[in-house]
């Protein structure tokens, strides 16, 4: 049963990732880091509604443009672990997904 739920979650994440990647606003945000995009698209409510622990935007140079983390049990924002940030910096293939 757990494997089925993980499969559903992975499919949902793939769909969301594909949808958001095609938005012109998302592309523009990666280029210009416009704070209005964060307010409009990456609000606490939006991320919690998607049931995401982390949302991280990475530009084509591998730099983190924005990163937000949440504890879904308490609905409180959490810092992104430094170990995750370091892992992202080392993973060149993340730049070309």
* Residue 87: pLDDT band with limits 50, 70, 90: confident
Q: Which two tokens stand for residue 7?
A: 């499969």
What is the residue extent of each domain of the chain?
A: 2-96
Identify whether the C-beta of residue 34 lies closer than 8 Å to the C-beta of residue 28.
yes
How does pLDDT run across 11-56, given as a tens digit for each residue? 666 666 666 666 688 888 888 888 888 888 888 888 888 888 888 8
User: How many Cβ atoms sit within 10 Å of the Cβ of residue 29?
Assistant: 22
pTM assigned to the model: 0.71
| pLDDT recorded at residue 76 | 92
| pLDDT recorded at residue 6 | 45
Instruction: Give phi and psi for 80, each to the nearest 5.
Output: -75, 130
Q: What's the CA gap between 74 and 60, in Å, rounded?
A: 33
User: How many Cβ atoms sit within 10 Å of the Cβ of residue 17?
Assistant: 11
Average pLDDT, the chain: 79
């Amino acid at each position: 049963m757990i494997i089925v739920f993980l499969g559903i979650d992975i499919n949902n994440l793939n769909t969301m990732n594909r949808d958001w990647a095609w938005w012109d606003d998302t592309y523009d945000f990666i280029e210009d880091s416009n704070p209005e995009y964060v307010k409009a698209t990456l609000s606490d409510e939006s991320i919690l509604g998607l049931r995401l622990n982390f949302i991280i935007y990475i530009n084509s140079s591998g730099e983190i443009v924005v990163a937000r983390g949440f504890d879904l049990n308490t609905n409180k924002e959490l810092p992104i672990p430094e170990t995750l940030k370091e892992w992202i910096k080392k993973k060149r293939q993340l730049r070309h997904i």
